[in-house]
Structure 1
Amino acid sequence: MTFRPIAIRSVAIAGVALTLSGCGINSIPTAEENAKARWADVQNQYQRRADLIPNLVATVKAAGAQEKDILVEVTQARASANQVKVSGDQLTDPAKMQQFQNAQAGLTLSLQRLQEAYPELKSQGNYTTLMSQLEGTENRITIARNDYNQAVQQYNTTIRTFPAAIGAKIFYGAKPMVPFEATTPGADTAPKVNFGN
């Protein structure tokens, strides 16, 4: 029985394809791209934190400052109203009575402003939202880093185990990827939120 050259080539091509598929030729770039995509997710979450947190802090500060202004105004008006006293002997003094009425009217106006603004006073809710967003952001970052580390572990395992190790070295010159580790001093602690108090 004689083999024809076409049949021999077909068998050789099939053998090479079978050998290459056994070497993990396709699993290596797949694992590498997965790890790169997970790293992009980590960077995305860091960018989200960098964009979101300063804006939330500024919003909370602004709302707190507005409320502080209203409360300071009420406190000052109350103090002013309590300082102006009219004794029984001064009831006939029109200037002293006018001063007393002005102080009381100032307190009344401040209290009305507080009552009008009360439904809009939201600093406590803003602080709660900020805390929730901080916690959620740090959780997202942690999940993204864990996903990246798992993808790196999968890639590193793929390029180091037989038979994929053969294809990894011959075709790709694959080197192990580095998992995420906190190396920056203080990276193990979340950033501090400063309201300028």
Structure 2
Amino acid sequence: MITEIIIGIVIVLILLAIIVFYNSLVQLRNRVKNAWSQIDVQLKRRTDLIPNLVETVKGYAKHEKTVFEDVTNARSSLMNAKTVAENEKANNQLTGALKTLFAVAENYPNLKANENFRDLQAQLSQTEDKIAYSRQFYNDTVLMYNNKCQMFPSNIIASLFKFKEAEFFEIAESETKTPKVEF
């Protein structure tokens, strides 16, 4: 009788542990999805600002056609990206194209003084800050989730219920270097 009670208590404790680990994995997986959505929102805002910025610069720098094409192509790539890796690659392309665009803008003093350009540049800068914060939050959340998927005993539950590790949003090595702009 006592043995049956002990076995029953052990079974109940094991079931409770499974439930707790499963629920924590679900919660962390949903946090990862939410964090990615926050990055996606900021990237969308960024892509919405770019056409206005390009049009403003075009009025001053009509002969810089390749710069505008690069920005437009990079923006399209970002808008069509589906996975974290595709977003990462497209985001890095767009960042490089925007750096070149701003370098071109430096050669036009009237453009730098243009109120629309300054406003768009400030909005884009704020959005870049939000993207950086969102990336950090996303990667922190992915770290917590991946740790839970890998650490014992939750890794058993993760494996049993097919929880897959999430990808980090990483910066390309080229992003860490100062761009060289030549005219």
Q: TM-score range by the shorter chain?
A: 0.5 to 0.7
2:117 maps to: 127
Larger RCO, structures 1/2 (Cα 8 Å, 6+ apart)? 1
2:38 corresponds to 1:33:
no
Tell me, yes or no, if the aligned pair for 2:18 and 2:157 is still in contact at 8 Å: yes
2:13 maps to: 15
Give distance in 2, aligned partners of 1:186 and 1:50. Answer: 21
| Equivalent residues, number | 128
Give distance in 2, aligned partners of 1:55 and 1:186. Answer: 27
2:168 maps to: 179
Give distance in 1, aligned partners of 2:115 and 2:52. Answer: 16
Give distance in 2, aligned partners of 1:154 and 1:3. Answer: 39
Cα displacement (A) at 1:181: 1.4
Tell me, yes or no, if the aligned pair for 2:42 and 2:131 is still in contact at 8 Å: yes
Show structure 2 runs of 5+ residues with no match: 62-112, 178-183
Tell me, yes or no, if the aligned pair for 1:149 and 1:180 is still in contact at 8 Å: yes
Cα displacement (A) at 1:10: 6.6
Which of structures 1 and 2 has the bigger CA Rg? 1
1:104 maps to: none
Q: Which runs of 4+ in 1 moved over 4 A?
A: 1-4, 7-13, 59-62, 185-189
Deviations 1:99-153 (A, max 9, x none): xxxxxxxxxxxxxxxxxxxxxxxx6322221221121121111111111111110
Farther-moved stretch of structure 1 (153-162 vs 49-58): 49-58
Q: Where do 1:89-104 residues align within 5 Å?
A: none
1:51 maps to: 48
Secondary structure class of the residue paired with 2:22: coil
Tell me, yes or no, if the aligned pair for 1:168 and 1:174 is still in contact at 8 Å: yes
**RMSD across aligned positions (CA):** 3.5
Identical-pair percentage? 33
Deviations 1:163-195 (A, max 9, x none): 21121112x222321101134x96668xxxxxx
Show structure 1 runs of 5+ residues with no match: 66-122, 190-197
Tell me, yes or no, if the aligned pair for 1:60 and 1:126 is still in contact at 8 Å: no
Calculate the TM-score normalised by the size of structure 2. Answer: 0.55
